Structure 1
Amino acid sequence: MTIEELLEIEEIRTLRSKWGHFYDGGDIDSLVDLFTDDAVCEFSERYGGHWVGRENIRANYTKYSPPEKPAYASLHAGTNAWIRLTGPDEAAGRWYLLDFNTREGLENPLAIFGVYDDVYKKVDGVWKIHRATLHFLWPNRETGVL
């Protein structure tokens, strides 16, 4: 692996980390900017199924993180990054998702455990999320093939 490839992988790792910061902080505009125009988020039907295109992604993230929701009411931790460059402008990644609720009075702050399978594309020299598939593992197992 070359230094250049390692730098590309680090850019993708940073991209996915920004996703958590922007979503949890309620910065939906910056969050949506992380996606390609034709991106797809694949979730279970419980979370609206497939969200296709940036405007649909914006509408759904706003639904789950409305402006009146306090910033950092949840924390999404992406761990165990496994990123592979699949071409000069494409990559794939897999992450564990640990989703915590930070609201007071909750007996159990754990909300979701899952695995993200992502496809990334480089657009105008910038890595973007092209496809994000979330396999829910807990508390409800709703997953495709892992």
Structure 2
Amino acid sequence: MTALTHTDLDRIRELKSRYARYADTKRWDEVAALFTKDAVMRFRDVDGNLVNEVPAAEFARTIGERVGAGQPVHHLFSHEVSFTSETTAEGVWAMEDLIFHDREAHPEAPFSRMHGFGHYHDSYRKTDGEWRISGSELTRLRMEITP
């Protein structure tokens, strides 16, 4: 049997899948390790306004604090990935995310349920043979928040 190989596209898809799994299991340090050291993550609301910007060095602390005791759930759907060089690429991923809070156990939680829809707009860079996310911007189409 001939050995199968992963293409760069496969590796980028796996990178983004790990992002969702690590975020859902609150493995914040491992989420941060998926990004280049100079990466910035930006979050926009449904009107396109920038609501948060987090540099890579602050991912684990900042994103972990925002989720708190809540349980995140991410779904990634269709993707478009374009290679801009042998070591860089750009991608857009349709996404849906939910965060659930147990308000009885954590009455200070900002909501009991958040359900969002939108797109991740990512840039990728291959360094030392490994693909990393070098920037990410989450844009929102819709947000539903249950108090």
TM-score normalised by structure 2 residue count: 0.76
* Distance (whole Å) between structure 2 residues aligned to residue 95 and residue 80 of structure 1: 6
Partner of 1:144: none
- List per-residue Cα deviations over 1:82-140 (Å, max 9, x = no partner): 111110100000001111345679xx966100111100001211100011011111127
C-alpha contact (below 8 Å) 2:42/2:50 kept by paired residues:
no
Q: Which residue of 2 aligns with 1:74?
A: 72
Q: 1:85 to 1:112 in 2, by over 3 A?
A: same
What is the CA–CA distance in structure 2 between the aligned matches of 1:47 and 1:25, rounded to whole Å? 26
Max Rg structure: 2
Q: 1:104 to 1:49 in 2, by over 3 A?
A: closer
Number of aligned residues: 130
Runs of 5+ unmatched residues, structure 2 = 104-111
Change (3 A) 1:114 1:139: same
Pick one of 63, 66, 73 that aligns with 1:64.
66
* Separation in structure 1 between the aligned mates of residue 62 and residue 114 of structure 2, nearest angstrom: 22
Tell me what 1:29 maps to: 29
Alignment match, 2:15: 15
Instruction: Give percent identity, aligned residues only.
Output: 24
Gaps of 5+ in 1: 141-146
- Amino acid aligned to 1:50: E
Q: What code does the residue aligned with 2:8 have?
A: E
**Partners of 2:123 and 2:136 in 1: how far apart?**
7
Are residues 1:124 and 2:124 paired? no
Distance in 1 separating the partners of 2:66 and 2:92: 23
- The alignment partner of 1:139 has SS state of strand
Higher helix share: 1
SS in 2 for 1:35: coil
> Which AA in structure 2 matches 1:80?
S
Match of 2:96 in 1: 98
Query: Residue 84 of structure 1 aligns with which residue?
Result: 82
The 10-residue stretch of structure 1 (110-119 or 94-103) with the greater mean CA deviation from structure 2: 94-103
RMSD (CA atoms): 2.7
Distance 1:120 1:97, change over 3 A: same
Is contact 1:23-1:65 (8 Å) kept?
no
Change (3 A) 1:104 1:23: same
